[in-house]
Structure 1
Amino acid sequence: MRFQWRGRIDRTEALLRVTGVALAGGSVAFAAHMLGNADRDPQFAGLEHLAIYARLTSSAPSRYRPLGSAEIDYTPVGSTRRNLPETVLGDFELIKASATAATIRTPQGRIARVSPGVKLPGVGEVVSIRRRDNKWVVGTQGGLICER
């Protein structure tokens, strides 16, 4: 079976075909180049800004360490959660909450809008606002303020 042209191809169609073939060829050439240079160190733009996720894990020199930063190991690490007390603070009332802020009523009857990092008198700092069992919970250093 032979391929036969069914009429003329307009310029736009020809340009699209040539562009597609050129992009496919460029992709193959790039892949061959990267596979051919597998023994070189990887270079990522902005790698030096990822130091906030790094910690010193060993005194051995790292192969992926950028020049001029011998004191930082760029091995990624995970973060840890603070352990909150599971005590429910019944004197406080959670009126309304979202992922970033919550409105609560204090035992003195005052209305306060809080967000993580705000110090709340009597219970300490607000650590988190999250959903638990389809109810909003404000986690503080002194305990939990739950939606009723």
Structure 2
Amino acid sequence: MFFLIGVAGLAACNTGGPHFRGLPATVVTVEGSTFAVRVRGELAEAIRTNSQYAPRLGPIRARAAQAMAQVSGCPVIEVRGDQAQALGILDCGAPGRRIPPEANAPLAYDCVPVRGSEIRELGGVRVEIDCEPSL
């Protein structure tokens, strides 16, 4: 009995809030944070779906805003909420306010492993990677 209740509770973790219920989610990953984004009118909701150790609100808020802008095509005026669920207020009203699709295109990065950063772990090796945007 408790198992079924627990499974049902976990299945609801990615369900949109009351204003966004029934809308399909677009999954977007920004700088390692994955969000399920739903848009209705001038509001967007971003629910973080990946686990991250002790995420701070500042970086998560900026990533959620970027994810909401990618999905909506509108600038995000304000982001409210917490590290798990964010509500964005969009500015889609004025003509020409839409963000061009090429501005939302994923960036390409050139990455190299940092020498001496290897850490042996059970089942593998972890390496720090240094990345810069490609031109």
Q: Which has the higher helix share?
A: 2
TM-score norm. by structure 2 comes to: 0.25
- Which protein has the larger Cα radius of gyration, Structure 1 or Structure 2? 1
Higher-strand-fraction structure:
2
**TM-score of the two chains, using structure 1 as the length reference:** 0.23
